[in-house]
């Protein structure tokens, strides 16, 4: 009788629970800790964005004040990207040695010194020294921001959070453009120095803020500090169960037995100079080789499609479009910065909803159309002695549409994708190498764009970029698998068979349908991924 009553008492609860299960699943709230930590880490990207934006206008005044030629302008604008390779290469080992958090502090300190040197520069050589120091700091910041953010983010919003570095790059570009306009009224010898020197201010506040962040849980596990890692994962995961699963996955990737649960355990130290580089470059597995191709390829095509030519040399492009007033050119660059920033914010909310591949492919498709149309309009303007108003308007519109399409897909996805695909033990070095490819490509483009458009015309340069973007679209379609909703430790299984990766994804999807449904619908893979 008691048993029957117990059953009757529990009956309504069981029924209510069963009925609730049929309700549409509620999405988990944004994890406030992961959001705060990702925001702080990603703010280091403001430093690169500010430098890119401010240099586009500062070069106008530097050229007049220091009496330098176009070749020197090209070198000044683009050489920071080459110097940043040193920083990104060193950041991988530094972050594995002292941790992700203190590496961010080092990045801020170097950028602070570089900005001051540029602001107080008295000649071209002194200015180049400042560019060198700032470049190393930017390399550190670029690499470590994306790694830390990816490692601290739960899978459900990893795309959203790891797009933050690109958000802050665009914010920095906008601030640089605004700084150009704000200081343009000062005497020439002071204006550009203020433009460059105020870039030191954000470094101080970012470094102080970063000290309030915890260390990356994956780095803590690699040091054997399981207790500290668990506390961070408990804060940055959507549920306690997810925190346990993430910890188990990280322990497996780090080679720690699952039955070791002490706060501090012994971890076999890997040789940074030999084992990692051998596995990454000398004897990579098919999966790692595919990851390298995908990671390096997306970084190369992001820059080779001409984005830095537009951002760095937008005043020249607007001048070629028929705009002669300095104030109007600088205001147009502010419009470019606003457009980039608005569309990157839209992209952050789409990454985890529609996936990396659909957003990337549609973004590059729009870039191709915009670049081809920009090349056409600039060619029309170039071949007419009289001002062709419709072509001028079309050129301005297509510059804005190009940066819009870039910011909604190609811009944020590059950093997101590269930071999440490498295995744990190779992540720091792999990500830093991807950043190095990005900076080399950007540096070559920035240091040759003026010479390029003088050789093949300004319109021809953008037709060339449109062709490169077309090649990029096919590369992405055939070589980049979807990573939406996967844990970082699960990524390696997606790679290894270029072009034939889709059946692998579909098999995993079918096996994990039940798990995905229980995860509040956050991991969505279906027939849409077949295309």
Domain boundaries, the chain: 30-265, 278-516
Q: How would you class 101 by CB atoms within 10 Å of its CB: exposed for 0-12, middle for 13-18, buried for 19 or more?
A: buried
d(CA 326, CA 509): 56
User: What confidence score (pLDDT) does residue 3 get?
Assistant: 45
The model's pTM: 0.73
DSSP, res 433? H
CA 86-46-411 angle, to 5 degrees, is 85
Please give the CATH topology (third level) of the domain spanning 278-516. Answer: Growth Hormone; Chain: A; (1.20.1250)
Q: What's the pLDDT at 106? A: 93
Phi, psi of 114 (to 5 degrees): -60, -45
Phi-psi region of 314 (alpha: psi -120 to 50; beta: other; left: phi over 0): alpha
* Tens of pLDDT, residue by residue, the chain (531 residues): 454 454 444 444 444 444 344 444 455 566 788 888 988 888 888 988 898 888 888 888 999 899 999 889 889 888 888 898 888 888 878 888 899 999 999 999 999 999 999 999 999 999 999 999 999 998 888 888 888 888 888 877 877 887 788 888 888 988 988 998 889 889 988 999 999 999 999 999 999 988 889 999 989 998 889 999 999 999 988 888 888 988 988 888 778 888 888 888 877 765 455 577 777 777 778 888 898 999 999 999 999 999 988 888 888 888 888 777 777 888 888 888 899 888 988 888 887 788 888 999 999 999 999 999 999 999 998 888 777 888 888 999 999 999 999 999 998 888 888 878 888 778 778 887 888 888 899 889 988 998 999 999 989 999 999 999 999 999 999 988 887 777 766 777 778 776 544 444 444 444 444 444 444 444 333 333 333
CA distance 336 to 56: 12
Neighbouring CB atoms inside 10 A of 97's CB total 11
Per this entry, what is the length of the chain?
Answer: 531
Distance between CA atoms of residues 459 and 324, nearest Å: 18
Distances (CA, A) of 126 to 51, 90, 136, 361, 468: 17, 24, 16, 43, 36
C-beta neighbour count of 496 within 10 angstroms = 17
Pick the CATH number of 30-265 from 3.10.129.10, 3.10.270.10, 1.20.1250.20, 1.10.3470.10: 1.20.1250.20
Report CA torsion sign: 207, 213, 214, 217.
Answer: negative
């Amino acid at each position: 009788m008691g048993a029957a009553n117990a059953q009757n008492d529990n009956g309504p609860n069981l029924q209510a629970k069963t009925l609730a299960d049929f309700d549409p699943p509620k999405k988990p709230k944004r994890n406030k800790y992961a959001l705060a930590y990702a925001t702080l880490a990603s703010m280091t990207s403001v430093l690169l964005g500010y430098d890119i934006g401010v240099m586009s206008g500062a070069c106008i005044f530097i050229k007049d004040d220091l009496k330098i030629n176009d070749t020197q302008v090209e070198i000044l604008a683009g050489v920071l990207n080459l110097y940043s390779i040193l920083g990104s290469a060193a950041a991988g080992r530094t972050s594995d040695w002292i941790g992700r958090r203190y590496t961010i502090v080092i990045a801020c300190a170097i950028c602070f010194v570089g900005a001051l040197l540029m602001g107080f520069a008295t000649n071209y050589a002194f200015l180049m020294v400042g560019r060198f120091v700032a470049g190393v700091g930017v390399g550190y910041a670029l690499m470590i921001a994306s790694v830390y953010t990816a490692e601290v983010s739960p899978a459900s919003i990893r795309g959203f959070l790891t797009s933050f570095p690109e958000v802050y790059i665009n914010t920095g570009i906008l601030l640089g453009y605004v700084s150009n306009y704000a200081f343009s009224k000062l005497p020439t010898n002071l204006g550009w120095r203020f433009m460059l020197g105020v870039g030191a201010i954000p470094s101080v506040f970012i470094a102080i803020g970063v000290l309030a962040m915890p260390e990356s849980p994956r780095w803590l596990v690699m040091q054997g500090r399981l207790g500290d890692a668990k506390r961070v994962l408990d804060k940055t995961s959507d549920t306690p169960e997810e925190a346990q699963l993430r910890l188990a996955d990280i322990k497996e990737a780090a080679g720690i037995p699952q039955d070791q649960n002490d706060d501090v355990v012994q971890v076999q130290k890997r040789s940074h100079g030999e084992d990692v580089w051998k596995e990454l470059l000398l004897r990579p597995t098919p999966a790692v080789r595919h990851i390298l191709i995908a990671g390096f390829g997306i970084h190369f095509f992001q820059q080779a499609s001409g984005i830095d030519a537009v951002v760095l040399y937008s005043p020249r492009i607007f001048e070629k479009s028929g705009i002669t007033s300095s104030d109007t050119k600088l205001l147009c660059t502010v419009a470019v910065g606003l457009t980039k920033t608005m569309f990157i914010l839209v992209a952050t909310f789409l990454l985890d909803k529609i996936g990396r591949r659909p957003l990337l492919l549609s973004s590059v498709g729009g870039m191709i159309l915009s670049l081809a149309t920009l090349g056409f309009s600039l060619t029309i303007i170039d071949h007419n002695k009289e001002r062709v108003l419709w072509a001028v308007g079309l050129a301005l519109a297509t510059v804005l549409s190009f940066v819009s399409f870039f910011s909604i897909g190609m811009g944020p996805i590059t950093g997101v994708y590269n930071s999440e695909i490498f295995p744990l033990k190779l992540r720091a070095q792999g990500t830093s190498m991807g950043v190095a490819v990005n900076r080399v490509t950007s540096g070559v483009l920035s240091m040759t764009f003026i010479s390029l458009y003088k050789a093949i015309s300004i319109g021809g340069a953008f037709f060339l970029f449109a062709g490169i973007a077309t090649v990029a679209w096919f590369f992405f379609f055939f070589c980049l698998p979807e990573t939406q909703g996967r844990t970082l430790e699960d990524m390696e299984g997606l790679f290894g068979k270029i072009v034939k990766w889709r059946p692998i994804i579909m098999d995993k999807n079918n096996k994990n349908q039940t798990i995905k449904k229980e995860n509040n619908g956050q991991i969505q893979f279906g027939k849409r991924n077949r295309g």
